[in-house]
């Protein structure tokens, strides 16, 4: 990406002049910072309203992350980063991109949860060297949970003699 940005800056600089190219880069950085600040404050106000109503500001959190990325892109010198930053600053495109990202993240969270059929502790050892195994399962995959009491005394259980 940096190589493409530099090549584009050099190409544009050769066409319109170096100082004009630098001026455009600086102007887009200032304009981008202004719009990121404006949209960020608007998003923060919406998030605070939702929290006061007892709701989770999920969309506003996604918007805030995208605005932070947009801010970094907008102040990074280059035309491609500016275009990507503008797409993240504009509410219409930000919501479209956010919906796509959320859909992708939901799919990744569901498909890569990291738990196997025996549960999260299957095959792990506890501090005493015992193995955790998944509990009895119903055919639909539910785990029955329960408690137990170790009724052995210290004479028959060598771990308790320490």
Condensed to tens digits (0 to 9), the pLDDT of residues 104-157 reads 777 665 555 554 444 444 444 444 444 444 445 455 556 666 777 767 665 555
In a domain, 32, yes or no: yes
Range of the domain at 90: 2-108
In a domain, 124, yes or no: no
Specify the pLDDT at position 95. Answer: 87
* Domains contained in the chain, number: 1
Over the Cα atoms of the chain, what is R_g?
28
Six-digit token string for 52: 């006061």
Q: Is the pLDDT of residue 10 over 70?
A: yes
What residues contact 22, with CB distance under 8 A and at least 6 apart?
Answer: none
Spatial distance between the Cα atoms of 29 and 22, rounded to a whole number of angstroms: 11
126 or 80, which is more confident? 80
Specify the pLDDT at position 139. Answer: 56
Condensed to tens digits (0 to 9), the pLDDT of residues 14-69 reads 999 999 999 999 999 899 889 999 999 999 999 999 999 988 888 888 889 999 99
In a domain, 7, yes or no: yes
In a domain, 147, yes or no: no
pTM of the model: 0.60
In a domain, 72, yes or no: yes
In a domain, 23, yes or no: yes
DSSP 8-state code for residue 162: -
Give 148-151 contacts, CB < 8 A, sequence gap 24+.
none
Residue 151's alpha-carbon distances to 127, 148, 154, 156, in angstroms, are 19, 9, 10, 10
Spatial distance between the Cα atoms of 90 and 85, rounded to a whole number of angstroms: 9
Q: For the chain, how many residues are written?
A: 162
Determine the average pLDDT of the residues in 82-99: 90
Six-digit token string for 27: 């102007």
In a domain, 156, yes or no: no
In a domain, 113, yes or no: no
């Amino acid at each position: 990406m940096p190589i493409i940005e530099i090549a584009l800056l050099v190409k544009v600089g050769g066409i319109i002049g170096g100082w004009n190219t630098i001026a455009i880069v600086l102007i887009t950085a200032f304009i981008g910072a202004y719009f990121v600040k404006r949209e960020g404050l608007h998003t923060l106000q919406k998030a605070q309203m939702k929290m006061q109503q007892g709701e989770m500001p999920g969309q506003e959190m996604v918007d805030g992350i995208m605005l932070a990325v947009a801010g970094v892109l907008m102040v990074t010198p280059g035309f491609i980063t500016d275009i990507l930053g503008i797409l993240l600053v504009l509410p219409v495109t930000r919501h479209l991109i956010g919906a796509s990202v959320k859909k992708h993240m939901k799919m990744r969270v569901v498909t890569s949860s990291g738990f196997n059929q025996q549960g999260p502790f299957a095959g792990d050892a506890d501090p005493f060297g015992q193995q955790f195994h998944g509990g009895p399962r119903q055919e639909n995959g539910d785990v029955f949970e329960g408690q137990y009491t170790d009724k052995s005394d210290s004479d028959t259980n060598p771990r308790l003699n320490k």
